[in-house]
Amino acid sequence: MILAGGLGTRISEETHLKPKPMIEVGGKPILWHIMKSYSVYGINDFIICSGYLGNIIEDYFNKNNFGWKINVVDTGLNSMTGGRLKRIQNFVGNETFCFTYGDTLNDVNIKDLIEFHKKNNTIATVTSCIPPEKYGVLYLEDNKVVDFKEKPDNEKNWVNGGFFVLEPSVFSFIKDDNTIWEKEPMEKIVEKRQLSAFRHTGFYQPMDTLNDKNHLEKLWNGENPPWKKWK
């Protein structure tokens, strides 16, 4: 299940024409790259939660056959992340399922992630990642720079990297369309000690801005795009 319904206002240079997950890297939507990453591990059944300009996503997959089973579900223009998740509950049934964002690339081993989830026996697992440093850090005393690090050690700063594995019971924590998944639902799951963290130290890159998109494009045009596990 992939979230693909937001407005993507921070990259409005492109999202005024298309939904954010349809912004292309290497001539293919970032959404396609994410789905290819799952497909490498035999996951070929996708629910795409659309909203803003969702018809563009639907048209793309109607015109292109990648051998995947795809349901593009309109989860509302203004629904929050939890609301979109709640709206696809009937598609999930009683199965464990993967859930991620439609704007983030990662080279996480999905097979290992799912096995980790099952082993820890919690209702939710999140892939925790180390955020990419965009800027050098200045360390100041009074008005003087006393230290500068171009790429500071931020290994303690684990963040939500998406790529969740969830049990259907998580739906009970979501109230309605206005529920933000990362707020009350995740907080309550944490309180119950039912959220496991799969630590991923490899490649992780959200596409929040045009600079991020250009960075991904540059990586794709290099010799070994770090998230590309397919031939």
Higher-pLDDT residue of 68 and 152 is 68
Give DSSP secondary structure letters for 151-178: S---TT--EE---EEE-GGGGGG--STT
The 10s digit of each residue's pLDDT in 69-104 is 999 999 999 999 999 999 999 999 999 999 999 999
2-220 belongs to which homologous superfamily? Spore Coat Polysaccharide Biosynthesis Protein SpsA; Chain A (3.90.550.10)
Please, what sign has the CA dihedral across residues 34, 46, 181, 8? positive
Q: How confident is the model at residue 10 (pLDDT cuts 50, 70, 90)?
A: confident
Looking up tokens 């697992």 gives 125
Helix (H) or strand (E) holding 204: strand 204-206
Of the pLDDT bands very low, low, confident and very high (cuts 50, 70, 90), residue 144 is low
Tokens for 12, please give them. 């409005």
Task: Give the domain ranges of the chain.
Answer: 2-220
Condensed to tens digits (0 to 9), the pLDDT of residues 15-67 reads 999 999 999 999 999 999 999 999 999 999 999 999 999 999 999 999 999 99
For residue 96 the two structure tokens come to: 């464990």
pLDDT (tens digit, 9 = 90+) per residue, 186-195? 999 999 999 9
Dist. CA 197–CA 195, nearest whole Å: 7
Distance from the Cα of residue 142 to its chain's centroid: 40
Q: Cβ of 202: how many Cβ atoms within 10 Å?
A: 12
